[in-house]
Structure 1
Amino acid sequence: MSSTPASIIIVHGAFEHIGRYNHLIKQFEADGYRVLGQNLPGQGDSEGVKGHIRSFDQYIETIEKWLQQIDEGPVFLLGHSMGGLAVIRTMQELKPKVNGVILSSPAMGILNGASKPMEAASKILNYLWPSLKVDTQFNPEYVTKSEAVRIRDQHDQLILKKVSVRWYREFQRGIRQAFSKVDQFPDVPILVMQAGEDLMIDAWKTKEWFHKIDLHEKTYKEWPGLYHELFNEPEWKQVYAFATQFMQQQLSKPMR
């Protein structure tokens, strides 16, 4: 086991920002981990046009920069929802040397997405007017049962209310590539934790992707009754304990 504290890079989901994970960051740090958490391009208070990206590859490039900021010691990637998808695509494209990957309700399929007419229109608008903004699907009551978090989110000015057509099309492209390049995921231990009552993403698509990856060590954990944001649920400390147990198991053995 390394004497250097393990580092955890937290990659937040769509519409939100890293500040919504302050409680999680504080808990990790209290338990001796180093945490790196920043906002993805176009999200939170990051630079650039809010709710807009040129390409999903911008997320991969951003995570690569975060990885480069860690100069020593074990490293884990923790991605939630769209952040989980970004972690998957980063692993497939860059194959970074990390000790493990943790995914929280990764966005492998979208529930209540655009209607068929809007889906067709978005393909055309992606070329004609890619920066056109549309309303997001973020609803505090859909992501957590915690009343305190719901109230906080209702007054959070950093949560995106609109995203661009290009962002939506690139999100969809990221999902397709995560499946088409499933055999390019490196042989790194992975823990996939899926909310049992997910109202935001298609849990069956998460499970489908999980069964397709061919790894020496992979764990799938479903949390019955929990909503999409596992780390913002009233039971989040149980989820935290499960995640840290996974990390400690990886830290107790040499990295492949």
Structure 2
Amino acid sequence: MQILHTRSSDGTRLRLARWNEDGDKDILLVHGLAEHLGRYQHIGEYFASQGWRVTFLELRGHGESEGKRGHVRLWINYVEDVQAAMGTVGRPMVIVAHSMGGLVTLATMQHSMTPKVHCVALSNPLLGLFTDPPKLKVLGGRLLSKIVPTLALSNEQNPEHMSRDAEVVRAYANDPLVFDKITTRWGAEMLKKMQDINDHAASFSLPLLMMIGGCDQVCSPDSARAFVNNYGGTAQTKEYHQCYHELFNEPEKYEIMADLNNWLTQQWPEQTPSS
């Protein structure tokens, strides 16, 4: 693995990682809220072993990338981070994104994507919360996001909801790079973009694999299913009925990654244009 850096359009310095520089097919990995490179090491290594050149992006405010933890001024800033990472990849690719990273990736798909993206796979994307916040809390959050946008509040994540693997839960709870607060602006921007993406599901056209943990208690499985039903392009669902939120950290993670690898390989064209 090698560490790379790039800058988003506003100058924010972003950390990336690369596995298997000699791979002839490219994957870009986009993580979820409060995650970082260390939680994706085994994923990068697995896909590198399958012949992929793997690039992992740490979004602003995460890991060792610049930015306030759990904060974004506008959701488009995350989109610009992904676009910068795509520029670092520099070749046609597939994108694999988890949770919040799924919402960021879908937002990126609303804009021009260069180089070409062949398909997208989403793992329990943030298209709906498992427990909807009270309407009064949402309205209050919108107001606070305008008055005190950087006010940080608990993200109310329970580590035990991440995985059925007790060691994963312990590591998550004790990880110094995993944060447990989000700002009022982050919350308002997330809810606004989530609604926008769901309202425009029919406008998307890239081949999509929706990977759902049937027992996810972080993101809503029903919201993911509804999005697929309304999706404008070709969409396939792979549901793991017993799994929690982090499919790639579940006891059967290598079976799940093998399923994903098979689907991505099927989507990859036999001959890829150079640009």
Q: Which runs of 5+ in 2 are unaligned?
A: 1-21
- Which structure dedicates a bigger proportion of its chain to strand? 2
Query: 2: distance between equivalents of 1:251 and 1:4?
Result: 13
CA distance in 2 between partners of 1:44 and 1:234 (Å): 25
Structure 1 residue ranges (4+ consecutive) displaced by more than 4 angstroms after TM superposition = 252-256
Aligned to 1:157: 176
Which residue pairs with 1:89 in the alignment?
107
Name the counterpart of 2:161.
Answer: 142
Contact 2:23 2:53 in 1 (8 A): no
Give the alignment's TM-score, normalised by structure 1. Answer: 0.92
* Equivalent AA in structure 2 for residue 175 of structure 1: M
Q: Does 1:53 align with 2:72?
A: yes
Give the structure 1 partner of residue 235 of structure 2: 218
Of 118, 123, 137, which aligns to 1:118?
A: 137
* Structure 1 match to 2:7: none
Contact 2:130 2:221 in 1 (8 A): no
Answer yes or no: is 1:208 the counterpart of 2:226: yes
State the 1:195 CA deviation.
0.5
The answer to whether the Cα contact below 8 Å between 1:132 and 1:164 also exists between their aligned partners in 2 is yes
Counterpart of 1:233, as a letter, is E
Partners of 1:255 and 1:178 in 2: CA distance: 29
Q: Deviations over 1:74-104 (max 9, x none)?
A: 4110110110111111112224521111100
Q: Which structure has more RCO (C-alpha within 8 Å, separation ≥ 6)?
A: 1
Query: Conserved in 1, the CA contact under 8 Å of 2:23 and 2:48?
Result: no
Query: What residue identity is the alignment partner of 1:67?
Result: M
Q: Which runs of no fewer than 5 residues in structure 1 stay unpaired? A: none
1:119 CA displacement: 1.7
Q: Distance in 2 between matches of 1:169 and 1:148?
A: 33
Q: How many residues align?
A: 251
- TM-score, normalised with respect to structure 2: 0.86
Question: What aligned pairs does 1:32-71 form with structure 2 within 5 A after superposition?
Answer: 32-71=51-90
- 2:235 is the alignment partner of 1:240: no
* Secondary structure class of the residue paired with 1:248: helix
Amino acid at match of 2:62: Q
- Give distance in 1, aligned partners of 2:237 and 2:66: 35
Which amino acid is 2:207 matched to?
Answer: P
Does the C-alpha gap of structure 1 residues 233 and 106 become closer, same or farther in structure 2, counting only changes over 3 Å? Answer: same
Shift of 1:115: 3.0
Amino acid at match of 2:235: K
Q: Considering only aligned residues, what root-mean-square deviation do their CA atoms show, in Å?
A: 1.8
Q: Does residue 228 of the first structure (1) align with residue 245 of the second (2)? A: yes
Q: Which amino acid aligns with 2:165?
A: S
Q: Give the one of 30, 36, 47 matched to 1:11.
A: 30
Percent identical pairs in the alignment equals 30
Per-residue deviation, 1:137: 2.3
Shift of 1:255: 6.9
